[in-house]
Amino acid sequence: MSMSIATKSLKGYRVAVIATDGFEETELTVPYRAIRDTGATVHLISLKRGPIQAFKHHDKSILVEAEYDFKDARLQQYDAIVLPGGALNADTLRMSPEVQSFVRNHNDEGKPIAAICHAGWILISAGLITGRTLTSYEAIQDDIRNAGGHWVNQEVVVDKNWVTSRKPDDLPGFVRETIALFSEHYERLNLGNIESPIQKTG
């Protein structure tokens, strides 16, 4: 799958993509490449460094290299988070105190979060769902409602600092709205006009 997103450069903007074994392949690779193509710095962070296993639905596909784990990633330097889906991936990540804390602190600071498919589970376990409007893979809609969220059946939903989508078929809208939200946040940070302190730290 390929897509062209017209946007200004996001040079200096840092995005953390969080995944582990069992992620849905295109829900990571498509946003990763599209966001990287804006000039942003994109890092894949996992529970361990090294290769993690992608899936296409129920079948194993490619391995991708996680550049950082939660012990060596400087988490406060990231401006935005992307949470790919995949049931195994999301179910593992939601149980991690480090993931929960990172996502919760990031949200408390009003930074953007883009979540697709089963990644809504992570938002639930981080205690962030109450009062929010979002979508997800249809199978977890009851989990979202039971956690106090308002689930809607739409290709993509933007609610304040969140972008959510349901499944790989929704990736065009998910990527479009994710980059739009990141661009708005980028402008608020004024990264286009001043040197960002995060650029100086590598």
Q: Checking DSSP bridges between strand 162-165 and strand 156-159, what pairing results, if any?
A: antiparallel
Are the CB atoms for 27 and 84 separated by under 8 Å?
yes
Single-letter amino acid, residue 183: S
Q: What are phi and psi of 156, to 5 degrees?
A: -150, 140
The catalytic position among 43, 106, 118, 150 is 118
DSSP string, 140-166: GHHHHHHTT-EE---SEEEETTEEEE-
Q: Catalytic site residue 118?
A: yes
CA distance 55 to 32: 16
> Active-site residue numbers?
118
